[in-house]
Structure 1
Amino acid sequence: MSNPSTITIAANSSHPLTVNRLGYGTMRLTGPEIYGEPQNRPEALQILKKAIQSGVNFIDTADYYGDDVTNRLIAEALYPYPADLVICTKVGGARKPDKNWIPYNKPENLRASIDNNLRTLKQEQITLVHYRCMHGHGAPFKEGMDAMFQMQKEGKILHVGVSNVTRDDLEAAMKMGEIATVENMYGHAQRTTHKADHMESNGGEEVLDICEKNEIPLVPYFSLFLSVPKKDTRIAEIAKKYGVNEIQANIAWLLHKSPWILPIPGTSSLAHFEENIAAANIKLSKEDMDFLQ
């Protein structure tokens, strides 16, 4: 099965970015409930440094992780940044002191978030920003996208992406401007829209064909949840076949599912990070993929 080692972001733009096809998501570097400082700060910094040493050059973050914890960790561990490093952040949401997730997606909110990301990441321009859709909450989707493309024109953002979008959202956004990437929930156990705790996560399966047709990388979040919405024993069988763990098998499935998928498995454990990176070396056959379909 085809499993290319790199992927190109904004392939048809004047500023294409080619990155290695296993990134790192920083959300788990925060404290409990994705809030506050990490329980093991030295290990968190070590993971970020190890990521770069391992060839990772795509790191996903958001200023509402922590609150504002992961951005500061990235800057502390990696600044000045390697020339080929793409730091992708998200805007559109925020955290309350009670740890609730709230919309922060009015144009003035988005501008404040971009300015905050620029400051905490010590950058003059954010290379890639995902606008996270908060369905039914806050500003209308089009209003938020207008603000994103305006900041792109101003030079604050190089490439604009979208997150947690439906097919209709994605198609509407593509008519407004160039969409570089899509970040939706996606893994072997969770492929379509899932509702939990009053939050809706839109699945990658619903937009993957659009991404493939238009050469837009799909960046999966929550990709390592193996029992949401239900446990699927097929991943365990493939893991046993290759002598790896189920998370590694799941990462391998994502890499083989489509050359336009850019996994960003996250962890706060250095040992688990190294296991995740090793998953890129697992070669699944067509028979394996047919079994896991």
Structure 2
Amino acid sequence: MTITIAQHSAHPLTVNRLGYGTMRLTGLQIWGEPANRGEALEILKIAVGAGVNFLDTADYYGEDVTNRLIAEALHPYSPGLVICTKVGATRRPDKSWVPYNSPENLRASIENNLRTLKQEQIQLVHLRLMGHGAVPLAEQLGAMYEMQQEGKILHVGLSNATRAELEEGLQLGPIATVENMYGYAQRTTVQLPHGANPGGEEVLDLCEQHGIPLIPFFSLVHGLPNAGDKLAAIARKHHASEAQINIAWLLHKSPWILPIPGTSSLAHLRENIQAAHIQLSTEDMAFLA
């Protein structure tokens, strides 16, 4: 199964429909170095070796930890590997998440990502939205499109976007992808310590209408504890874990969904990759509705 990013552009990107989110490769609270650096590097190599050719990262993971791990494990990068990063946020020493979204901030983040990932152009960059605050969305996206024209960015996407923000973004320029929190048991907005996280269900129909891949994050973190008996029943039927059925559900929910389950465990990585081969029937999906 593949999906095409920016299908109507001059430079579309086609990737396999199971990516890998690198956030969990950091230390506790998405801060500092991983507990087992060797395993983190091995996870990246095994994932790409198994056919995963879409990696999601950000320079504020760690900080800069996941970018450096990716470069150490995989550079020079194989043809067809798409590395997607995010800008628009940063971390304070108290580990809080704060906006970093002025045009100057965004440019500094892009330059840092280019340096740490050892790239001349980033194929896909998500603008992480944390409330417009003092910087209007038009100004944030304007800075992104300016760097796209300069060749520093190939495609621009949105992360953590409400329906209204996606609608506004589509009026301002091409939006290649949307990355929102989404999973079987976590479909709408969630309030987290660092702010609201809009759910994937709020924008999925718009993404489908415009041929925009929806990239779910945190689908295995916040949703599974509240999944209920239905997910467990389907997991038993397919001799799989509930986490695997969550991934399979996302893949069957819409051809425009590109899951990026993350893990710091080699065993869980292999389970996640196997989940892409689980075939849920029409009856299964109806039962899980």
Superposed, 1:28-177 pairs within 5 Å as: 28-177=24-173
Point out where structure 1 has 5 or more consecutive residues left out of the alignment: none
Give SS of 2:164's match.
helix
| Identity across the alignment (%) | 67
C-alpha displacement at 1:168, in angstroms? 1.1
User: Contact 1:103 / 1:138 at 8 angstroms: preserved in 2?
Assistant: no
Contact 1:9–1:16 (Cα < 8 Å) also in 2: yes
The one-letter amino acid of 1:149's match is Y
What do you get for the CA RMSD once the two structures are aligned? 1.1
- Aligned residue for 2:263, secondary structure, equals coil
Stretches of structure 2 that go unaligned for 5 or more consecutive residues are none
1:227 Cα deviation after fit = 4.0
Per the normalisation by structure 2, the TM-score is 0.98
Match of 1:273 in 2: 269
2:218 is equivalent to residue 222 of structure 1: yes
Q: Is 1:206 aligned to 2:202, yes or no?
A: yes
Quickly say closer, same or farther: Cα 1:168–1:111, change in 2 above 3 A.
Answer: same
- Amino acid across the alignment from 1:163: S
Are the counterparts in 2 of residues 173 and 179 from structure 1 also a CA contact under 8 Å? yes
Measure, in 1, the Cα distance between the counterparts of 2:209 and 2:110: 30
Aligned partners of 2:119, 2:174: CA distance in 1, in Å? 22
Q: Which amino acid in structure 1 is aligned with residue 217 of structure 2?
A: Y
Residues 156 and 176, structure 2, Cα contact 8 Å, conserved in 1: yes
- State the shift of 1:236 in Å: 0.8
Q: C-alpha displacement at 1:99, in angstroms?
A: 0.7
Q: Does 1:289 align with 2:248?
A: no
**In structure 2, distance between residues paired with 1:143 and 1:229:** 39
1:20 alignment partner, one of 6, 16, 20: 16
User: Which region of structure 1 is more displaced relative to structure 2, 219-228 or 183-192?
Assistant: 219-228
Following the alignment from structure 1 to structure 2, what is the Cα–Cα distance between the partners of residues 162 and 228? 25
**How far does the alpha carbon of each residue in 1:137-196 deviate from its partner, in whole angstroms, 9 at most, with x for none?**
452222111111111111110000000011111111111111110000100011111112
What CA deviation, in whole Å up to 9, does each residue of 1:216-255 have, x standing for no partner? 0000011113647834221111101100101000000000
Q: Secondary structure at the match of 1:131?
A: strand
Change (3 A) 1:70 1:132: same
Matched, 1:7 2:35: no
Match of 1:196 in 2: 192
* CA distance in 2 between partners of 1:40 and 1:150 (Å): 39
Where 1:281 maps in the other structure, the secondary structure is coil
Shift of 1:135: 1.3
CA distance in 1, matches of 2:224, 2:238: 23
CA distance in 2, matches of 1:278, 1:28: 19
| Mapped contact 1:104–1:138 kept (Cα < 8 A) | no
Contact 1:190/1:229 (8 A) holds in 2: no
- For 1:20 and 1:95, locate their aligned partners in 2 and report how far apart those are by CA, in whole Å: 31
Question: Runs in 1 of length 4+ with deviation above 6 angstroms?
Answer: none
| Cα drift, residue 198 of structure 1 | 4.6
Give the paired residue count: 289
For 2:166 and 2:22, how far apart are their aligned partners in 1?
25
Paired AA for residue 236 in structure 1: A
Contact 1:265 1:276 in 2 (8 A): yes
Provide the secondary structure at the position in 2 that maps to 1:97.
coil
